[in-house]
Amino acid sequence: MDWFRLSNEAEVASPALLIFEERVESNLRRMIEIAGDPARLRPHVKTHKLGPLVERQLALGINKFKCATIAEAEMCAQADAPDVLIAMPAVGPNVARLCKLAKKYPATRFSTLIDDAGAMQALGLAAVKAGLTLDVFLDLDCGQNRTGIKPGNEALELYRQATTTAGLKVAGLHAYDGHIHEADLTKRRALYETAFGPVLAFRQQLESAGLAVPVLVAGGTPTFPFHAEQTDRQCSPGTTVLWDFGYADKHVDMPFLPAALLLARVVSKPGANRLCLDLGHKSVAAENPHPRVRFIELPDAPAISQSEEHLVIETPRAAEFSVGDTLHGIPRHVCPTVALYNEATVVRGGAAVGTWPIARARRLTV
């Protein structure tokens, strides 16, 4: 039987997010193989938001995690992760939430990012008030122009200031190169080298100034193989654990398998060559143009329209499908797709064996 079909598929209501356990396992082992050692990995959990998957990573020796929200950090803490970086500057009420989190889960070492003097001082004050010391990474802008400070003297001064700010402990540098996703491996490597030259020079500048840089957390998925070659940093791939066709098509050098599929059903047949599926943009990430999902059964069928709960595709093979038939889709971008579901259906040995809750709320308890 095809790997993507479930023996008990008739029991799984659609639309559903399927997680193929054996494929996740394969992806995790490949990640460790590329990094050389699980201790060098700090995978991003925003891709999957699954506590049981954090537990599986811990069992394989991965004990550091990166996340984007306080809820994701709490999910990691609930899974007994010892080291969690919230890779987002804490502002407003999230400062107090971060302190609350650190107090609630003392066995987990939480850290976050700084790139602004005012926000850093507010964070230090809140930590002191809570009787805590929070770990902080200086966030470096290495070309994405999203968050972070450019390497240079101003950044050095901020870093130095952090080392003397009560309530804070400087953990090192964070540099995310999410703007680099060139398909061509040679070009991608050149872009990576250009982006990381200033980061590495800045680290030297800090060290020359007598400022210790305990850790450098570097990169996302497309540059993961390059960062992995260097033993002086932690690697933060994200999508690698579930993979998707956006990265699979672009980064053929990367040995990962699509491990998350969307189960959809034909709900109507509007016209001779069309199928309407129950997979609207409330069920598959929509920030990219179509195709937002590629069906294994109909990989070339173009999307004619998509609304909140419907996707109409066109195919000369429409007559082969009846209302109620299933299709299996690989999402183009799996991370925000997962965030649309409340639970994942876990597949093992070709059958749906249960569900995992997805921590997609913005707030768990804190």
Q: How far is CA 229 from each of CA 54, 105, 107, rounded to the nearest angstrom? A: 24, 34, 31
Among 58, 119, 132, 158, binds a second copy (CB under 8 A): 119
Stretch that binds a second copy, among 24-32, 190-198, 210-218, 309-317 (CB under 8 A): 309-317
Number of neighbouring beta carbons within 10 Å of residue 78: 16
* DSSP conformation class of 302: P
Smallest separation, CB 12 to a second copy (Å) = 7
For residues 197 and 175, the answer to whether their CB atoms sit within 8 Å is: no
The tokens describing 345, both together, are: 């259906």
For 288, other C-beta atoms within 10 Å of its C-beta total: 13
Among residues 28, 1, 43, which one has the least CA distance to residue 220? 43
**Stretch 164-183 residues interacting with a second copy (CB under 8 A):** 178
Report how far apart, in Å, the C-alpha atoms of 33 and of each of 215, 220, 254 are.
21, 17, 12
Among 74, 135, 141, 244, contact with a second copy (rule: CB under 8 A): 141
322 binds a second copy, rule: CB under 8 A = yes
Using DSSP, how many helices (H) and how many strands (E) does the chain show?
A: 10, 16
Per CB under 8 A, contacts with a second copy among 6-25 are 10-16
CA distance readout (Å), 320 to 295, 297, 330: 15, 11, 21
Site residue total, a second copy (CB under 8 A): 68
Q: How far is the CB of 37 from a second copy (least distance, A)?
A: 28
Distance in Å, CB of 22 to a second copy, minimum? 24
- Encoding tokens for residue 283? 């069920």
* Shortest CB 228 distance to a second copy, Å: 23
CA distance 65 to 290: 32
Length of the chain: 366
Do residues 95 and 116 lie in contact, with contact meaning Cβ atoms separated by under 8 Å?
A: no
Q: Select 311 or 330, whichever has its Cβ closest to a second copy.
A: 311
The yes or no reply on residue 275 touching a second copy (CB under 8 A) is no
What tokens does 299 get?
């990989």
**With binding defined as CB under 8 A, does residue 351 bind a second copy?**
no
Q: Which helix (H) or strand (E) holds 55?
A: helix 51-59
Q: For the window 78-117, what string marks contact with a second copy as x by the rule CB under 8 A?
A: ----------xx-xxxx--x-----------------xx-
Residues 177-216 that bind a second copy (CB under 8 A): 178
* Minimum separation from the CB atom of position 93 to a second copy (A): 4
Q: Of 218-247, which residues contact a second copy (CB under 8 A)?
A: none
DSSP state of 188: H
Q: Choose which of 7, 153, 204, 305 interacts with a second copy (CB under 8 A).
A: 305
Q: Which of 63, 78, 133, 147 is close enough to bind a second copy by CB under 8 A?
A: 147
As given in the structure block, the two tokens for residue 208 are 């020359």
Which region among 24-32, 103-111, 201-209, 280-288 touches a second copy (by CB under 8 A)? 280-288
Question: Tell me, what amino acid is at 148?
Answer: G
Residue from 68, 128, 211, 296 binding a second copy (CB under 8 A): 68
- Name the residues that contact a second copy, by CB under 8 A: 10-16, 46, 68-69, 88-89, 91-94, 97, 115-116, 118-119, 122, 139, 141, 144-148, 178, 265-271, 274, 276, 278, 281-282, 285-287, 304-310, 312, 322-324, 326, 335-336, 339-343, 360-363
